[in-house]
A and B are shown apart, each in its own frame.
Chain A
Amino acid sequence: MADFGGDAEAFRVEARDWLAQNFPPAMKGVDLALTVEEPTGDARLWKARMGAKGWGVPTWPTEYGGGGLTPAEARVLQQEMARIGARNPIGGMGVMMFGPTLLEYGSDEQKQRHIPPIVRGELRWCQGYSEPGAGSDLAALQTKAEDKGDHFLVNGQKVWTSGAQYADWCFCLVRTDPNHKHEGISFLLIDMRTPGVEVRPIKLISGVSPFCETFFTDVKVPKENLVGPLNGGWTIGKRLLQHERNSLSGGGGTAGRFASGTPLDQLAKTYVGVDGEGRIADPDLRSRLIRHQMEAKAFLLTLARAAAESKGNQSPSNATSIMKNAGSKVGQDRAELAIEIMGSQGLGWEGPGFEREELEQVRNWLGGKATTIYGGSQEIQNNIIAKRILGLLDHQ
């Protein structure tokens, strides 16, 4: 492992000690970040301790309850947690997207009010960006917020709002000027319990309903909930999307996803069988699996290279721009191969006759289709590479 220098290594002892005293062993390998129910018992304890320590958001400033660690120390903490199987219990959109954005653009009162509950994992946030008429072309959004003196009056509809049915708050892009597309958008925080907010869950192809349609009918939102200047929300909203993309493509999350579950070669040897040499019996499948595994390896090497380059003080590498597409392709290919390998068993939906892994794979496969759609679709990512990185012009 890399040498993080004296101070960060000194921090390792501190982290190890604290974890030894505060991590309930029963929580080993348990991931709370995405659970919907309020935790109880050890889970509740672990979450409360991490929340109070601020280490769920290790690099956020201490004045708002964050851990105040340097990036090097945060990596050490991550390693020490991984070593004992401790998962970060603090997560969600508040941590991944909204918090970093508010820390950058919010007023001091807004930060004092909204950051500490995110640090402690007490409040859930959802993202009110997409609308029926505004997907990839997000700036076409129409949900309007009218200035009524002491408050905004919000009317309109959002869609694909992940977790809206469980959320306490929503960070929203709203139209405050109908005459300017990008310069007529503001960034507004809406309490989901305000009268006039209604959510309707939408069922996905994977059978679950992780997101909703969200309706706003004459919703009164206090003026103090405007982040940044009026009609200045587009810049803030885009910054938030950068955080979203980074969390979707970078780091351990993606790498972890490939590593989880039974390795594909074992899966294939079990379901497809082996030839006289002990190799996967279907040679076409075998060669496609190898190709996929090599692509996955190339992607992991690229993640590692980008991390090394950013540490080595080179300017942010071009490699980061390809991560979302490259990572989502590897993830989707893996899921397609997994269900292909398992044949009809791999399509098991529910009920008897199927292993837990089989039922999980089918949902992984379907759920994973979203990775090339949200956070800037695959095509939008290619547009971004073509225009921003390669300098090609817009079609006239």
Chain B
Amino acid sequence: MAVLTEEQSMLRDSARDWVREKAPVTAFRKLRDGAAPLGYDPAAFAEMAAMGWAGVVIPEAYGGSDFGYLSLGLVLEEMGRTLAASPLIASSLAAASALVLGGTDAQKQAWLPRIAAGEAVATLAVDEGARHDPLQTGLSAAPAGGGFSLTGSKTFVLEGMAADLFIVAARTSGARGEADGITLFLVPADARGVTREKRTLADARGYAAVSFDGVDVGAKAVLGAVDQGYPLLERVLDRARAGLAAEMLGMAVQAFETTLDYLKTRVQFGQTIGSFQALQHRAAKMFTELELTRSCVEAALSAIDAESPDTPQAVALAKAAAGDTLHLVSREMVQMHGGIGMTDAHDAGLYLKRARALETTFGSTAWHRDRWGRMAGY
């Protein structure tokens, strides 16, 4: 665990207590079983926001606490432990970062206080295919009446069913595959021509496919500079990826602890299965990977807070390490539980499904490894 300030320790402890009491895995299970339309419980999110968690990376002038990314990461790690569902990553982290980094004062005034208060949910609408690839942005934004007209579609938008605001990556010039020509737009979900449809994945969260059918927006809807949105988008995505990595770390830690408990209680051949060395060494390997991953995740979040030029490398490392480790632990969780791990009544399946969803979100492990390699000159 990183060396924390007193405020950070308090934040982590209160997140831990709240999550255990108000958002245990059973709470998520209930949401899933009830096919919650948004994929999370708005009342629970309102409580999180009331505790200030929706405003951790938002400046005080706009209603946040400006505690920073390592701080928000601590909260996300606790959320990950119990699979707590909320728009913290999509809205309070990713979209909030986009506005903080790229917004005009008017844009910030319009959205950040409401995001910090949990009154509005905002999200990034970036990917258009099954795999993350922001350079492939093709949704077109054509000049129209002093503003732009947006046409195209986005897939697997996080919290897309709940969102009040989409931050849309669109193409104002150039071709798919090019960084130049990508522009970010703020598009309210109730704008004319916006339609959305729920996409139900194995992890039962609130994804949506969103269509933009000649959606007219004014010039003031542009976030950042026309045609030059890609560098901003990358900075925003890296913040989101670091947060995802923190959530994944929390999940992996809990999946491991649950499995370890089982190794200590399940008896076969007259002894606890945790006394079998074949399982002990796999447990030691998981523990080792968790420790290494924690270092990477904390380093990435700290790099963002320090505005370090190494942030992209640090984030790629964190997302890849978290991806590998969560992948390993979630598989072992099922395996080491034997038959009971295959049942829907057990939590192992919930962790396994959520793990794969996060592994692929905003760049798979392989994608980030390749990215890291390119940055390192490989």
Interface residues of A (CB under 8 A from B): 265, 279-280, 286-287, 289-291, 293-295, 297-299, 301-302, 304-305, 308-309, 311-312, 314, 317-319, 322, 325-326, 379, 381-383, 385-387, 389-396
Mark interface residues in B283-315 (1 if CB within 8 Å of A CB, else 0): 111011001111110110000000000000000
**Other-chain contact of B376, A265, A298, A308 (Cβ < 8 Å):** A265
Q: A396 to chain B: which residues have CB within 8 Å?
A: 270-271, 275
User: Is B215 engaged at the interface, CB distance under 8 Å to the other chain?
Assistant: no
Known: A286-B378, A305-B2. A298 touches B283 (CB 8 A): no
Q: B294 to chain A: which residues have CB within 8 Å?
A: 305, 319
Known: A298-B292, A382-B281. A287 touches B275 (CB 8 A): no
Q: Is the CB of B373 within 8 A of A302?
A: no
**Contacts across chains A and B counted by CB atoms under 8 Å:** 123
Q: Is the CB of A386 within 8 A of B291?
A: no
User: Is B370 engaged at the interface, CB distance under 8 Å to the other chain?
Assistant: yes
Known pairs A287-B373, A392-B280, A393-B272; list 12 more (Cβ under 8 Å): A265-B377, A290-B369, A290-B373, A290-B378, A297-B296, A311-B3, A322-B287, A326-B292, A385-B284, A386-B277, A393-B275, A395-B277
Q: A287 to chain B: which residues have CB within 8 Å?
A: 369-370, 373
Q: A379 to chain B: which residues have CB within 8 Å?
A: 281
Q: A290 to chain B: which residues have CB within 8 Å?
A: 369-370, 372-373, 376, 378
**Closest CB-CB distance, A170 to chain B, in whole Å?**
33
Mark interface residues in B238-278 (1 if CB within 8 Å of A CB, else 0): 00000000000000000000001001100000111011110
User: Is B317 engaged at the interface, CB distance under 8 Å to the other chain?
Assistant: yes
Q: A387 to chain B: which residues have CB within 8 Å?
A: 280
Q: A286 to chain B: which residues have CB within 8 Å?
A: 373, 378
Query: How many Å lie between the Cα of A312 and that of B369 in the bound state?
Result: 32
User: Is B326 engaged at the interface, CB distance under 8 Å to the other chain?
Assistant: no
**Closest CB-CB distance, B296 to chain A, in whole Å?**
5
Known: A312-B3, A393-B272. A294 touches B369 (CB 8 A): yes
**Other-chain contact of A392, B3, B274, B288, B370 (Cβ < 8 Å):** B274
Considering the complex, give the chain B residue whose CB is closest to the CB of A317. B1
Q: Is the CB of A322 within 8 A of B270?
A: no
Query: How many Å lie between the Cα of A390 and that of B277 in the bound state?
Result: 13
**Closest CB-CB distance, B279 to chain A, in whole Å?**
8
Q: Is the CB of B3 within 8 A of A383?
A: no
Query: How many Å lie between the Cα of A328 and that of B281 in the bound state?
Result: 16
Q: A265 to chain B: which residues have CB within 8 Å?
A: 376-378
Query: How many Å lie between the Cα of A334 and that of B264 in the bound state?
Result: 36
Query: How many Å lie between the Cα of A9 and that of B338 in the bound state?
Result: 58
